[in-house]
Structure 1
Amino acid sequence: MRIAFATTEYVTEKYFSGGLANYLHRIAKALLSLGHEVHIVVLSEIDRDEFEYEGIQIHRLTLGKIQQRLDKLSRYSICQTSQCLDFSFQVYRKLLKLHKQQPFDIVQFPDWDACGVISSLLLPIPQVTRISAYRPVWCEKSGEERDRDEQIIEWLEWLQMRLGKHVYAPSYTLKRLLAEQAKITHVQVIRTPFYLETSDWDSSVFNEYLQGKKYLLFFGRFQLHKGFHILAQALPQVFKKHPDCHAVFVGLDLSSSLASSMKEYALSFCSQYTDRLVFIDQIPHTQLYPVIAGAKLVVLPSLIDNLPNACLEAMALGKPIIGTIGASFEELLTEGETGFLVPVGEVNALAIKINEVWMHPSLNEIGQAAKWKVQEFAIENTVKELLNYYEKVIRDIKYA
């Protein structure tokens, strides 16, 4: 098949740091390995270049005059909306041009930033929308204010989901959330393909900061919806009970409604134990994997999530994980068998669970069970399911 993906972020762009870019790169490489032709249409801050990247055809788009005009008309009060509409129109024009040169079999859009909303109305190509998050709840859990600009984006994303007849999500948690909160009921669940990004490990970061330490690990963005603050508040109870325990945080330090720096927020809560906190900036997978592999326990106390890649990576490396109930972790972890679960947002419950698990006699066995569990997300299973879905969409449209 000839398949196109539109996206606001991809691994070819220097600004990316999110899961959407990593997901698209994994699925693109998987499809390519099976003989399919893959095109990525991506928002760029650099240029409108076209090139090949690891066998994938990349088409960069920059914003045009639509954004400028909307910004002037709105007196710069809806800058995010103007950017989204501009890019959505640029995507439509680009895909139509490429389709006329050689037809695509199918196009996939993300829900985020509604980059497929115009194409869902006008583009004569079979298309699907993959939902990665439901923005209103995501913003609430992230502590972000929802101004008029944000609310318009939310509406555009909802409109794209309503207009699209073929919508899918990676988790049943997100499917239920969409049905309850957005009244979007035509959502199919298709698991995300997963594999470890590299077998070429670089242990330099581990050796410099963590050699000889027993530690629990949090990795990902330092954000409220990831439960960073919940873990920070729970750690003093853990440190007090377990003098051998260190806490390692790997990722991008960000501001929030609680603090201008979440790293400083954690340090303030653990002021008596700052020598047992280790902070490491965002690092590539080659350096991250040895850090994960060296952890005694991985703690991911998200308030909301969607089968997070961090959980899958830790499972694949045989690590026991503490996740949260209601944030999709229960679709991956079974209490005491493949991991551990705690209620969302409860500091004391998290501290108690970490204290219990730290001394658990079967951590290695639970980590190995998690490693077997994650095989359900192997390419041979999930990509086949996705391709079957694509083929069904194409047939439904053809014979409609």
Structure 2
Amino acid sequence: MRIALATTEFLTEKTFDGGLANYVFRVAESLITFGHIPVIFVASDKNEVLIFKNIEVVRINEKQFTWWFWFLNVLTLFRLNPSLLFVLRSYRIKSAILKYNKTRKIDIAQYTNSMSLGILLPSKIPCVIRISSYQKLLDEVYGHKQTFRLWQKQFLQDLMLKNSQFIFGPSKKIGDFISKKFNKNVEIIESPFLVDKSVFDETILNEILTKTSQNPYLLYFGSLTVLKGVTDIAEILNDFFEKHNEYYFVFVGKTIDVDGVSILEILKEKAGKYYDRIIWKNSLEHKFLYPIIEKADLVVLPSRIDNFPNTCIEAMAIGKIVIGTFETSFEQLIDNNISGILCKPANPQSLINTIDFALKLNNDDKQKMSQNAIDRIEKLKPEIVVKKLIDYYKTVIERNNNHQSV
């Protein structure tokens, strides 16, 4: 099969950061090993076709505006600009896929739900939507005030899901929510993962160990946002350092301001006199990141909401004890107190109690939990997960053909 993977992020783009881009790359690599032909269609800043690690990538300039885009924007005094940008991006991707299909037949197209990319689907090609989040849930957790701009994003995503015949995703929690809300069958297919320890580079780790004077540290990695529970970590820092004066707390990832205030400043302010025990590194390549994960005593990921968190998967694959949260999709990966530990979301007291509990575990219990974590992620090997995805593609193609023949 030739499979189009339509996405808003990929490793070729300057703006790529984590989850979605890495997922698309892993799926594409795995599809090749199964004898299929993936083609990436990614929203970009230029039009070009290139080969990236044996994968064909079609980059589409999402900012190449059309006459109707400007006409409708002016007509509505730019009040519909967020919606029009989403629709334009989807239109560009759809046009590129249809153009490609004229010379090389595409058997199926997989779209990300990010930015409602699948609002306009090519009708001549079977399509599936991979749901990795739901806008209204995210906005509720963030506490965003409802505005017309926000409503537009929510409306487009709802419209896309209502009109989509085939939807799948990795998260049972989000899948169940979408299934009930839209009365749709949502197939649960977890994301593939395989850690490559052969490319570990300890350069950044050694910098961190120099700053900690070889003392132990806890680790958070991923985007530093309210949604991921970083402000909840901030609330416990002073108490944590009071109890555990030998520890440091390392943060790795891009920072996002909270109400105009740097989240790093919030962390340091909450840490009080222990502010110098906070170490931050910007987003890192996996070869630098994995040694930092491996050396951490605990990985702390207290998300308020999540999908099928790559951060949790990566840490568990290396055998780390992860502290996640209940009712946020972590329980799909973590069997509490067996393959990791869960605390209540948005609850700093529960978080620090859980950290204290984890640090008091004896070595035997830690080793058992570590091995259980590794065993869980073994189930995400591409030969297991991507085979299920390929079977799903075949089912969708068959149903689509049957529908067209009626």
TM over 0.5: yes
Residue 201 of structure 2 corresponds to: 202
2:311 corresponds to 1:310: yes
Residue by residue over 1:9-68, the C-alpha shift from the partner in whole angstroms, topping out at 9 and shown as x without a partner, is: 1110101214211111111111112221111111112x1011111111111111321443
Residue of 380, 388, 391 corresponding to 2:383:
380
Tell me the secondary structure at the aligned position of residue 199 of structure 2: coil
User: Which residue number in structure 1 is paired with residue 86 of structure 2?
Assistant: 84
Aligned to 1:183: 182
Structure-1 residue corresponding to 2:246: 244
Q: Deviations 1:192-242 (Å, cap 9, x if unpaired)?
A: 111125621111111011251211100000111100001111222221111
* Counterpart AA for 2:358: V
C-alpha separation between the residues in 2 aligned to 1:130 and 1:155? Answer: 18
8 Å contact from structure 1 (residues 197, 285) kept in 2: no
Question: 1:179 & 1:36 partners in 2: Cα distance?
Answer: 30
TM value normalised by structure 1 = 0.95
The residue type paired with residue 235 of structure 1 is: L
Partner of 1:53: 52
Deviations 1:319-341 (A, max 9, x none): 00110000011111112210001
C-alpha displacement of 1:154 = 1.5
Q: Is the 8 A contact 2:233 2:348 kept in 1?
A: yes
Q: What SS does the corresponding residue of 1:377 show, helix, strand or coil?
A: coil
Q: State the Cα deviation string for residues 273-325 of structure 1 (Å, max 9, x = none).
A: 11211111111111000100000000100000011000000001110011000
The amino acid that maps onto 2:304 is: L
Counterpart Cα distance in 2 of 1:186 and 1:277: 45
Q: Distance in 2 between matches of 1:350 and 1:17?
A: 27
1:285 counterpart residue number? 286
Structure 2: give runs of 5+ residues left out of the alignment. none
State the one-letter code of the partner of 1:389: Y
User: Hey, what does 1:73 align to over in structure 2?
Assistant: 75
The reply on whether 1:140 has 2:140 as its aligned counterpart is: yes
What aligned pairs does 1:1-400 form with structure 2 within 5 A after superposition?
1-45=1-45, 47-62=46-61, 63=63, 64-65=65-66, 66-119=68-121, 122-180=122-180, 182-196=181-195, 199-211=198-210, 212-257=214-259, 260-361=261-362, 362-400=365-403
Given residue 186 of structure 2, which amino acid in structure 1 is its aligned partner?
V
- 1:156 deviates by 1.4
Aligned counterparts of 1:263 and 1:325: Cα–Cα separation in 2? 26
Structure-2 separation of matches of 1:21 and 1:70: 32
Q: Is the 8 A contact 1:143 1:224 kept in 2?
A: no
Distance 2:13 2:51 in 1: 13
Contact 1:198-1:285 at 8 Å conserved across structures: no
Could you list the per-position Cα deviations for residues 59-82 of structure 1 after superposition, in whole angstroms to 9, with x for gaps in the alignment?
Answer: 111132144333323322233212
Q: Distance in 1 between matches of 2:57 and 2:165?
A: 27
In 1, the alpha carbon distance for the partners of 2:82 and 2:114 equals 12
Quote the Cα distance in structure 2 between the aligned partners of 1:213 and 1:71: 57
Instruction: Find the residue that maps to 1:116 and give its secondary structure.
Output: helix
Counterpart residue type for residue 176 of structure 2: R
